[in-house]
């Protein structure tokens, strides 16, 4: 008892105890955030599978005030590193929402605005663009995607940024008969084409620079007047 009293009078403290108290205090908000993120997950998840399934995602979109086809939902999947289209695991949900500091629907709605800006940065967009293709590979060992879906995906992801190029690419894909599916190499080539090639004059397109053959054919189609 005397020793404790003496310690208080001299102002001496136990550094280890102080650090523990600090850690305990600082961890409380984090714990609460994680708890709320978990509760939010449970409000959309199937209690049997412990997954947010397509129905849950539609409910989420409704609460966020966005359509389930909105590109920001795909961006959210990218942020979560979601592996299966139309499904969010609890771990994916926790990682994504924690990084967005969004533990309520109101916060998540606001976070989507900043998330879109984050994705649009050149340092992130290429990764997002390639992720979008992988996300649409819904079958095991699937390596290509139907041109019909590719047309929708191109418009969704690149349409606002490269409208003339995307419109022409989509028109070509819909009228040609040589390609029923598109692979990753072709998909990445579309983005490179939109980013690098002068359009619609195509004056800097060089077929010798190892473009995917589908783009050589597309350029030929453009140069003869979309015939």
List per-block mean pLDDT (blocks of 10 residues) for the chain, which spans 227 residues. Answer: 36 46 52 94 98 98 96 97 97 97 97 97 97 95 97 97 98 97 98 97 94 97 84
Question: Do the strands 144-146 and 88-89 form a parallel or antiparallel pair, or are they unpaired?
Answer: unpaired
Would you state the pLDDT for residue 225?
83
Residues 213 and 89: their CA atoms lie apart, in Å, by 38
In this prediction the pTM is 0.84
Give the per-residue pLDDT at 18.
46
Distance CA 149, CA 139 (A): 14
Positive or negative: CA dihedral 160, 165, 169, 170:
positive
What does the pLDDT read at residue 81? 97
The DSSP string of 62-113 is HHHT--TT-HHHHHHHHHHT--STT-EEHHHHHHHHHHHT--SHHHHHHHHH
Residue pointed to by tokens 């029923």: 180
**What pLDDT is attached to residue 31?**
85
In the chain, which ranges are E strands?
51-52, 88-89, 144-146, 181-183
């Amino acid at each position: 008892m005397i020793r404790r009293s003496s310690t208080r009078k001299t102002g001496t403290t136990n550094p280890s105890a102080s650090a523990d108290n600090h850690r305990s205090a600082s961890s409380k908000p984090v714990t609460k955030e994680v708890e709320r993120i978990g509760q939010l997950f449970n409000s959309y998840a199937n209690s049997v599978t412990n997954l947010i399934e397509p129905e849950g995602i539609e409910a989420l979109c409704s609460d966020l005030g966005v359509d389930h086809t909105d590109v920001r939902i795909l961006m959210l999947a990218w942020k979560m590193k979601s592996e299966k289209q139309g499904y969010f695991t609890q771990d994916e949900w926790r990682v994504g929402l924690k990084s967005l500091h969004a533990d309520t629907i109101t916060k998540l709605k606001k976070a989507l605005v900043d998330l879109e800006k984050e994705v649009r940065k050149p340092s992130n967009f290429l990764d997002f663009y390639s992720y979008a293709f992988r996300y649409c590979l819904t079958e095991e060992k699937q390596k290509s995607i139907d041109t019909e879906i590719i047309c929708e995906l191109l418009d969704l992801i690149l349409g606002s940024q490269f409208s003339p190029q995307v419109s022409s690419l989509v028109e070509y894909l819909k009228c040609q008969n040589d390609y029923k599916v598109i692979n990753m190499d072709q998909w990445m080539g579309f983005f490179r084409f939109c980013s690098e090639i002068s359009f619609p004059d195509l004056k800097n397109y060089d077929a010798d620079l190892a473009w995917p053959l589908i783009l050589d054919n597309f350029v030929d189609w453009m140069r003869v007047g979309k015939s």
